[in-house]
Amino acid sequence: MKNKSKHAKRNISPSLMQWRFVIVVAVILLVFGVLTARAAYIQIINPDRLIQEGDSRTLRVRNNEVYRGLITDRNGEQLAVSVPAKAVWAHPPTINDKKNNAMGDKRRWQALAEVLGQDVDKLISKATDGKRKFVYLQRQVSPAMATFVDKLDIPGVHLVNESRRFYPAGEVSAHLIGFTNVDDKGIEGIEKLYDEWLSGTPDSRTIRRDGKGRQVEVLQEKKGKQPKDIQLTIDQRIQAVAYRELKSALHYYRATSGSVVVVDVNTGEVLAMVNGPSFNPNNRKGVSPHRIRNRAITDTFEPGSSVKPLAVLSALEFGSAEPDTILDTSPGWKRLGGSIVRDLNNYGKLDLEGIIQKSSNIGTSKLALSVPKEYFLDTYYNMGLMSDTGTNLIGERQGLFNEQRRWSDFELSTLSFGYGLTVTAMQLARMYAILGNEGVKQPLSIVMSDEQKITEQVISASNANKVLEMMQSVLEEGGSGRKARVPGYRIAGKTGTSRKAVKGGYGEQYVNIFAGVAPVSDPQVAMVVLINEPKGDLYYGSQTAAPVFGTIMASTLQLLNVPPDAKRVSSVAMQGGANQ
Q: Around Cβ 484, how many Cβ atoms within 10 Å?
A: 31
Q: Give the pLDDT score at 38.
A: 79
Provide the phi-psi class of 401: left if phi over 0, else alpha when psi is between -120 and 50, else beta. beta
Q: Determine contact, residues 438/461, Cβ cutoff 8 Å.
A: yes
Q: Give the pLDDT score at 382.
A: 94
Q: Determine contact, residues 164/140, Cβ cutoff 8 Å.
A: yes
- The residue count for the chain: 580
| CATH superfamily name and code, 236-280+297-575 | DD-peptidase/beta-lactamase superfamily (3.40.710.10)
The three state secondary structure string of 25-90 is HHHHHHHHHHHHHHHHHHHHHCCHHHHHHHHHHHEEEEECCCCCCCEECCCCCEEEEEEEEEEEEE
Q: Determine contact, residues 503/388, Cβ cutoff 8 Å.
A: no
Among 164, 134, 140, 157, residue whose Cα is nearest residue 86: 140
- What stretch of H or E contains 493? strand 492-502
The amino acid sitting at 289 is P
Task: Convert 429-455 to b/e letters by CB count within 10 Å (16 or more is b).
Answer: bbbbbbbbbbbbbbbbbbbeeeeeeee
Does the fold of domain 236-280+297-575 match that of domain 62-200+211-231? no
Name the residue ranges covered by the structural domains of the chain.
62-200+211-231, 236-280+297-575
Q: Give the pLDDT score at 570.
A: 39
Among 354, 378, 358, residue whose Cα is nearest residue 368: 378
Q: Which residue numbers are catalytic?
A: 305
Q: Determine contact, residues 138/116, Cβ cutoff 8 Å.
A: yes
Q: Give the pLDDT score at 215.
A: 67
| CATH superfamily name and code, 62-200+211-231 | Penicillin-binding protein 2a (Domain 2) (3.90.1310.10)
Q: Can you tell me whether residue 22 is helix, strand or coil? A: helix
Q: Give the pLDDT score at 571.
A: 39
Q: How much is the CA Rg of the chain, to the nearest whole Å?
A: 39
Q: Give the pLDDT score at 59.
A: 66
DSSP letter for 152, please: H
Q: Determine contact, residues 370/315, Cβ cutoff 8 Å.
A: yes
Provide the phi-psi class of 446: left if phi over 0, else alpha when psi is between -120 and 50, else beta. alpha
Among 381, 343, 374, 335, residue whose Cα is nearest residue 361: 343
Q: Give the pLDDT score at 213.
A: 65
DSSP letter for 158, please: E
Sign for the pseudo-dihedral over CA of 22, 28, 29, 31: positive
Measuring CA to CA, how many Å separate 171 from each of 188, 271, 485, 532, 536?
Answer: 14, 17, 28, 19, 27
Q: Determine contact, residues 203/222, Cβ cutoff 8 Å.
A: yes
Q: Does the reported pTM lie above 0.85?
A: no
Maximum C-alpha span of the chain: 165
Q: Determine contact, residues 486/553, Cβ cutoff 8 Å.
A: yes
The tens place of each residue's pLDDT in the chain, 580 residues long, gives: 455 555 544 555 556 667 777 888 888 888 888 888 877 877 777 776 666 666 666 666 666 678 899 999 999 999 999 988 888 988 888 888 777 777 777 888 888 888 888 888 888 888 888 778 888 888 888 888 888 888 888 888 888 888 889 999 999 999 999 999 988 899 999 999 999 999 988 777 776 777 666 766 667 777 878 889 999 999 999 999 999 999 999 999 999 999 999 999 999 999 999 999 999 999 988 888 889 999 999 999 999 999 999 999 999 999 999 999 999 999 999 998 888 999 999 999 999 999 999 999 999 999 999 999 999 999 999 999 988 999 999 999 988 887 777 889 999 999 999 998 999 999 999 999 999 999 999 999 999 998 899 999 999 999 999 999 999 999 999 899 999 999 999 999 999 999 888 777 788 899 999 999 999 999 999 999 999 999 988 889 999 999 999 999 999 999 999 999 864 443 333 333 333 2
Q: Give the pLDDT score at 272.
A: 97
**Distance (Å, rounded) from C-alpha 157 to C-alpha 90?**
4
Residues 6+ apart with CB under 8 A from 433: 263, 264, 265, 268, 444, 517, 526
Q: Give the pLDDT score at 56.
A: 66
φ and ψ at residue 269, rounded to 5 degrees: -80, 135
